[in-house]
Amino acid sequence: MIKKVGVIGVGTMGQGIAEMLAKNSLDVLVLENSADRLEHAMHMIEVSLDKQIEKWAITSSEKKLILSRIQPINKVDELSDCDLIIESITEDLEAKKEVFKQLDQVTDASTILASNTSSLSLTEIASVTRSPERVIGMHFIHPVSKVDLVEIVRGLKTSDETVESLKQFAEAIQKKSVMVFESPGFVTTRLICLFINEALHVLEEGVATAEDIDLAMRNGYSFKYGPFQMADHFGLDSVQAALENMFREYGDLRYRPSFTLKKMVRAGQLGVKTGVGFFKYDTDGDRSNESTRN
């Protein structure tokens, strides 16, 4: 049974994963590559909980209990007694392989090693470990606390036992799971990134503004978020990285990132995490009414 979980990389996705796990009565260890990033992550988790208190979704006592279950740590070897470790760093294959190489050295074969990658090869990530059968994909959807879905992605050597353990774990944390065999972009990333990329082409052609394109998809087709607000929350750099990986793997022009997306990433306009993307956001990640593009 999984009772203690490590989360490596607590950016927007990692924060959501850690908070969600703690809400489900799990002990969570969180690790970042700098003390400042770790402190910021803990602050943002607290901000998220405070917003829920304002909406009467949780009480102050529940907030304290959730935070008490999340323990910041400084070294990877402090994860050695975790039952499950979820890696959620940037979408960089070599960086992820380095993390899994380290985890393989400090954990025993009973620890499940999962990656929250949205598009990269689990088989290649697992290749740097001595026990590739315990490596698996666990791709959550943003915002983690509100979307009750997780993609469980099987690499070439992932064992049936590892898959079954994660299926049971997904049920325990109140997530519906979809089983996916490794393929670039899996199911959700492959479809949603094409949606975002096509919206970018519509914007580039001057058909409509970013605001109106989002409005059309929210009101016309019952999307909770339009493509541009989605992209801002995912991180424009993450969207670009996923598209480039799928473009390399499939060789299909549909996956070639739009020039506007590349330009915004070069300018450092990455969305919520930098305060500006297609729209502007305050320090708490709340959107202002101001669009940055026509």
Return the percentage of the chain with pLDDT > 70, whole number.
98
pLDDT of residue 290: 60
Q: 148-179, pLDDT tens digit by residue?
A: 999 999 999 999 999 999 999 999 999 999 99
Q: 191-210, pLDDT tens digit by residue?
A: 999 999 999 999 999 999 99
Q: Name the CATH superfamily housing domain 189-289.
A: N-(1-d-carboxylethyl)-l-norvaline Dehydrogenase; domain 2 (1.10.1040.10)
Q: 85-122, pLDDT tens digit by residue?
A: 999 998 899 999 999 999 999 999 999 999 999 989 99
User: Tokens in use for 33?
Assistant: 């590559």
- Report residue 289's pLDDT band, with 50, 70 and 90 as the boundaries: low
pLDDT of residue 110: 93
Cα–Cα dist 44/22, whole Å: 15
User: Tokens in use for 187?
Assistant: 């199911």
**What is the value of pTM for the model shown?**
0.89
Q: 222-257, pLDDT tens digit by residue?
A: 999 999 999 999 999 999 999 999 999 999 999 999
pLDDT(1) > 80: yes
pLDDT(284) > 80: no
- Across residues 120-139, what is the average pLDDT? 96
pLDDT of residue 142: 85
Cis bond before residue 227 (omega within 30° of 0): no
pLDDT of residue 294: 44
Spans of all domains in the chain: 4-181, 189-289
- Across residues 6-17, what is the average pLDDT? 95
> What are the percentages of helix, strand and coil residues in the chain, rounded to 5?
50, 15, 35
Q: How far is CA 177 from the centre of its chain?
A: 15
Q: 30-82, pLDDT tens digit by residue?
A: 999 999 999 999 999 999 999 999 999 999 999 999 999 999 999 999 999 99
Please tell us whether the domain made up of 4-181 is placed in CATH 1.10.287.130: no
User: Tokens in use for 131?
Assistant: 């026990």
pLDDT(293) > 60: no
Cα–Cα dist 21/145, whole Å: 9
pLDDT of residue 285: 77
Q: How far is CA 105 from CA 10, 80, 166, 283, in A?
A: 22, 9, 22, 38
Cα–Cα dist 149/232, whole Å: 20
Q: 21-30, pLDDT tens digit by residue?
A: 999 999 999 9
